[in-house]
Structure 1
Amino acid sequence: MAAAQGGDCQAYEHLLRELDVWLRRYYARRLPHPAAEDATQDALLAIHASRHTYAPSRSFGAWVMAIARYKWIDRIRDASRFAAVPLDDEIPIADHGASAISAAAVDDLLGRLKPAQASVIRLVKLKGLSIASASGATGQSAALVKINLHRGLKKLAALASCEVVAARTPINVLEKRRSTPTINQTEKF
């Protein structure tokens, strides 16, 4: 290392090769293979980056050992920080299907209204804006916002009740009602 600090490139290359072999053995006993490879590379980079801090009057082995030990500790900390937690096979997941269907149904019903009524209902009832804020956002007067809101909600209620009746009543029941013969007055007696 002293020769490498003096500018001897061949001595530095020879030193790095020997350190590579020693570091691989050092980490192979302490870490799993992929982590050992990474730690070896980290240590070699740290040695290269801090080579100017080595004092030739001190022990080179202790200096390298300190760097290797710190990199080993870093790897252990990383492993404990990102430890794999086994996942259960049955992870509870919230079912948002009903809310998605409801949102689509509301959007469909709002699409059947006049645009002014639908925009006011979206702003006031769904987004929670005040009448004054909805008036500013739509360009309608506050009185017109109230009228469109009232008329739109009334029409929505009528549309929703028709949708519910249509959804609950099977088509076969409606067809049976239409095809059931009526009894004539003469057939009664």
Structure 2
Amino acid sequence: MIAAQAGDERAYAQLMGEVSQWLSRYFHKRLPPAAAEDATQEALLAIHVHKRKYEANAPMTPWLKTIARFKWIDQLRGHLRSPDSLGEIEVPVPDHGPAARAAILLDALLSEVKPAQAQVIKLVKLDGATVEEAASVSGQSTSLVKVNIHRGLKRLGQVISD
């Protein structure tokens, strides 16, 4: 970028080629193909227009990501006016279903034991607290924490086997 700012045409061509590839990957992950191409071209134009504003002592990647993010947002705003223009875009969303089901089942299981038992089982067995920490949080003695964990786990075993 510094050489491109100084007028080195070869460096400028190399810079724009590398930046174009990066921008294309960035936008194709976030937009439909036609919109990704438009955003890439708009971002390249913005980089060309604003290349003098880039400060040589600053890292290039955050500057580039900022321009890309603004052009991505511009594309989305444009498509808000006509949502059909985005077509069937595949947005990767992590599947939290198994974790949600596990949490629901765990809560249902823990409802089968006394609240004091459930509390210390959560603290020690699920959250990784020590017996002493669980005693401090729950207001139970360390001996009672150990007993409640033992009895609670025994009860949970019975519930599961029934």
Distance, in Å, in 1 between the alignment partners of 2:61 and 2:5 is 16
Alignment deviations for residues 122-173 of structure 1 (CA, whole Å, 9 cap, x no partner): xxxxxxxxxxxxxxxxxxxxxxxxxxxxxxxxxxxxxxxxxxxxxxxxxxxx
Which residues in structure 2 correspond to 1:62-81 (within 5 Å)? 62-81=62-81
Which residues in structure 2 correspond to 1:107-186 (within 5 Å)? none
5+ residue gaps in structure 1? 86-189
2:58 is aligned with what amino acid? R
Distance, in Å, in 2 between the alignment partners of 1:63 and 1:57 is 12
- TM-score of the two chains, using structure 2 as the length reference: 0.51
Distance, in Å, in 1 between the alignment partners of 2:84 and 2:11 is 43
5+ residue gaps in structure 2? 86-162
Distance, in Å, in 1 between the alignment partners of 2:70 and 2:49 is 15
RMSD across aligned positions (CA): 1.2
Larger RCO, structures 1/2 (Cα 8 Å, 6+ apart): 2
Distance, in Å, in 2 between the alignment partners of 1:37 and 1:84 is 18
1:79 is aligned with what amino acid? H
**Identity over the aligned pairs, expressed in percent?**
48
- TM-score of the two chains, using structure 1 as the length reference: 0.44
Aligned to 1:38: 38
Distance, in Å, in 2 between the alignment partners of 1:76 and 1:42 is 13
Alignment deviations for residues 34-90 of structure 1 (CA, whole Å, 9 cap, x no partner): 0000000000000000001000011111111100000000001111112239xxxxx
Aligned to 1:10: 10
Deviation >6 Å, runs of 4+: none
Q: Which has the larger radius of gyration?
A: 1
1:77 is aligned with what amino acid? R
Aligned to 2:61: 61
